[in-house]
Every structure is written in structure tokens, then in C-alpha cells.
């Protein structure tokens, strides 16, 4: 199926004012189809992998990365989990940092959010901007440190929990041989999962790469072809998608944020291209017509217009701002503020769902006990008020999680 994003954007602009207003009013009154599906499944007690025969929908959780800005989508998916809404989903897709966020979400490990502002900002073990200078001997971003040290020892991922999850994880990466996005899945063990996460997050010329995975020897960061892995989810047959975005809507991005993001991207772009076929991959990425701006513009249409054009109902969660966070941000205070922006965005869209579930008598303990204003709990951990009402603390790290050998 070809996803003609530009055509959809044009159709959205050509909607008559009367039709657009009526469609918007109907959606506001009845809720977005993605919200409706989540509500219906939670109220009925439906579980992933054991849906009723009458439920033919396939709901995807789609998670954008963005380097350190991925803390925003991390806060979003952790909010989703804390509200008890995760069982409504059938599959999770993640790009780059978004894949890591999705992995921690599937196991309910809230401590993942600490990775961004505690572990990765300490010293230069993960991110060293001096490596942007000519003659540097190390990569700017050390993905091996993130996966083999932080995710194995400091905030250990429950690797077995991800592998056994009834909601499978699909990790999106970019293939420098076929010049297209690829979906990595069906992991046999923790090593394979770790290899997939590394490949998806290996930013070209910034992190060491490309990376191998099974029969594919040269994979690199998902963002080359799919910053937001929505097209992969739709190609796989998903009928509904909730998208955790780490960037605001284009029209709401502040001038300074756009300028800062442009400066960071320009610095990375000026690095000498040492990876074979990378230039061809970047040219291909510009030519395929899946620019994020076109996709985001298309999603301003009413949900039924989006479904008619894309084949799926799509509900994006946009933060009001990034709070100044960018892909190479190392300021813990800025990253904490960005996490709060992500949490607030998720609550704006998911609060009505959680309220409907609670009103139906099936509110999960998390909703009833934590309340909708502070879904990460109050007073959990020693720094319970650092972000919102303590969402960074109270990590549910599983005991006995096997570390991944370097």
C-alpha cells in the first residue's frame, strides 16, 4: 500500500469549511475513534492476544524518538501505562529512542524516564559534543554505553519481560543497502533485542555505525527514513494508531525551538560522511515524500479523512513545546521540563478515556489511586516533586533482569 502523504495533505486543505466544521464537531462530541477503541477495550476487559472474534481492529502504539528529546515521548507512554490503558494495544512500534521508550513501557518500568536527565547527562560517557570537532577519536553519541551499561546495569530493562510481552515490540531502523525503513521483530533473546535497539538509534556519523542485525549488515538510525514509525505500522495492517510525538505541531513550534533544532541538525550535517551509501540514503529519504511536515499537516484533517487516505485512524499526541530540549540536550532541568510537557500532552488526550473507564466501573488501580493530575504517583522516591508529582520516581525495575554483555 502506497502512503501518499502529500496527496492527503492537499485533500485536507481542500475540505470545505462546512464539511470540516461538521466533522470536527462530530469528533468532539463522540471522541476520536482511537480514544473510543481504547475505552471499549478497557471497559470490556479485553486483553492483547485474546480479543473477541468481533474485535477486528489492530491498535498500534507508535513512539517517536529524537535523541535526548525522546524524553518527551517517554513521559507520554509512561503516562499511558500508569493510567492502565496499555492492555488496549496490540503492538508497539518505536524509532530510535522511541523504541527504547516502548520497551520500558511494555514492562512498566517507570525508572526509564530517569535515564534521560540522570544517567545520560552525567559526564561525557554517552554524549560528548567535543567529538563534533575534526580529529575526534570517539563518536558523539555512544549507543553501546546506553544499551550495555545504562540499560543493563543502571536502569536495567526487563529484557525477558519485553520478549514475553503479549504486546510485541517492533523496532524500526533504516537499511543502507535497500534504502528503505525496515521493521525488526521476533527477537529470540536479549542479545537480538539489544542489537535491534542499537541499530535503530545509531545516528549516521554521530553514533558508531552502521550496525548489523541478522542478515542485514548495515542498519542505521530509524530517523533517516521514518522519524515517526507510523507508515510501518500501517503497512503491517494496523487500523488504529496512537502516536507519541516528541515535537510539537509545526504551527506551534516556537521560533527559538525551530532555530535551535536547525543549528543542531546543521552541525551534524557538516560532519564528513564516512559511511558508504549514506548520501544515497539521505537523497532517497528526501525523495520518498514522507516528510514529517506533510504527515503532520495531513493529520489536521478529520479522523475519517485520514483513515480514507492512510487506511488507519491516527491520533497524535503533541507536546505544547519541547521546553527547550533538543536531540543533543544535556541540561537536566530542561529535560525534566520536557518530560512534564510530554506528561501534560498525554493527559490532555487520555484523561477523557481514563474518566470514561472509571465511570464504567473498570478503572484500574493506577487511575483510582494516583488520580489524573499526577499519574506517576505522589511522593514516590526521594525526589518526588522533581517532575510534576514524582513521575520520575518509583521505578518498577524487575529483579533479576539479565544484563546484556558488551
Catalytic residue set: 96, 221
For every residue of 189-227, DSSP letters joined together read SHHHHHHHHHHHH--TTTBS--EEETTEEEEE-GGGT-S
In the block, residue with C-alpha cell 495533505 = 9
- The Cα–Cα gap between 19 and 122 comes to 53
The CA radius of gyration of the chain, in Å to the nearest whole number, is 20
CA-angle at 247, arms to 305 and 42, nearest 5°:
60
Strands (DSSP E) contained in 1-123 are: 59-63, 91-95
- The Cα–Cα gap between 314 and 243 comes to 7
C-alpha closest to that of 34 among 53, 52, 60: 60
Are the C-beta atoms of 235 and 226 separated by less than 8 Å? Answer: no
**Element at 316 (helix H, strand E):** strand 313-317
Question: Would you give the distance in Å from CA 251 to the centre of its chain?
Answer: 21
Length of the chain: 406
- The Cα–Cα gap between 54 and 343 comes to 33
Is cis: bond before 374, omega within 30 of 0?
no
CB atoms within 10 A of CB 214: 12
What's phi and psi for 205, nearest 5 deg? 65, 0
**Element at 101 (helix H, strand E):** helix 97-106
CA-angle at 128, arms to 126 and 129, nearest 5°:
140
- The Cα–Cα gap between 216 and 382 comes to 45
- The Cα–Cα gap between 336 and 332 comes to 6
Helices 332-359, 71-82: axis angle to 10 degrees equals 30
317 has which bridge partners? 244
Amino acid at each position: 500500500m502506497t502512503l501518499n502523504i502529500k496527496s492527503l495533505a492537499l485533500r485536507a486543505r481542500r475540505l470545505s469549511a462546512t464539511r470540516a466544521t461538521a466533522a470536527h464537531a462530530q469528533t468532539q462530541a463522540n471522541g476520536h475513534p482511537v480514544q473510543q477503541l481504547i475505552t471499549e477495550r478497557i471497559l470490556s476487559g479485553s486483553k492483547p492476544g485474546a480479543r473477541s472474534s468481533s474485535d477486528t481492529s489492530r491498535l498500534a502504539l507508535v513512539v517517536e524518538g529524537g535523541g535526548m528529546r525522546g524524553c518527551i515521548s517517554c513521559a507520554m507512554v509512561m503516562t499511558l501505562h500508569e493510567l492502565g490503558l496499555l492492555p488496549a494495544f496490540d503492538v508497539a512500534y518505536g524509532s530510535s529512542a522511541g523504541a527504547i521508550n516502548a520497551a520500558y513501557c511494555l514492562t512498566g518500568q517507570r525508572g526509564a524516564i530517569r535515564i534521560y536527565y540522570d544517567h545520560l547527562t552525567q559526564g561525557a560517557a554517552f554524549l560528548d559534543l567535543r567529538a563534533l570537532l575534526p580529529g575526534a577519536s570517539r563518536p558523539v553519541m555512544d549507543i553501546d554505553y546506553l544499551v550495555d551499561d545504562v540499560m543493563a546495569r543502571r536502569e536495567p530493562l526487563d529484557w525477558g519481560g519485553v520478549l514475553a510481552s503479549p504486546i510485541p515490540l517492533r523496532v524500526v531502523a533504516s537499511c543502507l543497502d535497500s534504502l528503505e525503513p525496515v521493521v525488526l521483530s521476533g527477537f529470540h533473546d536479549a542479545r537480538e533485542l539489544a542489537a535491534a535497539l542499537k541499530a535503530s538509534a545509531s545516528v549516521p556519523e554521530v553514533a558508531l555505525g552502521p550496525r548489523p542485525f541478522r542478515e542485514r549488515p548495515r542498519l542505521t538510525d530509524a530517523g533517516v527514513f521514518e522519524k515517526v514509525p507510523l507508515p510501518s505500522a500501517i503497512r503491517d495492517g494496523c487500523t488504529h494508531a496512537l502516536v507519541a510525538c516528541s515535537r510539537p505541531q509545526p504551527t506551534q513550534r516556537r521560533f527559538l525551538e525551530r532555530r535551535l533544532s536547525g543549528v543542531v541538525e546543521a552541525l551534524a550535517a557538516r560532519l564528513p560522511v564516512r559511511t558508504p551509501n549514506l548520501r544515497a540514503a539521505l537523497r532517497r529519504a528526501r525523495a520518498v515524500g514522507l516528510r514529517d511536515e506533510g504527515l503532520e499537516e495531513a493529520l489536521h484533517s478529520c479522523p475519517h479523512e485520514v483513515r480514507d487516505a492512510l487506511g488507519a485512524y491516527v491520533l497524535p499526541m503533541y507536546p505544547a513545546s519541547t521546553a527547550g530540549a533538543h536531540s543533543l540536550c544535556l541540561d537536566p532541568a530542561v529535560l525534566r521540563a520536557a518530560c512534564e510537557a510530554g506528561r501534560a500532552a498525554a493527559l490532555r488526550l487520555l484523561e477523557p478515556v481514563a474518566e470514561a473507564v472509571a465511570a464504567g466501573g473498570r478503572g484500574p488501580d493506577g487511575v483510582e489511586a494516583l488520580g489524573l493530575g499526577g499519574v506517576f504517583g505522589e511522593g514516590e522516591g526521594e525526589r518526588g516533586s522533581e517532575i510534576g508529582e514524582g513521575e520520575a520516581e518509583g521505578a518498577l525495575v524487575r529483579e533479576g533482569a539479565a544484563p546484556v554483555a558488551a
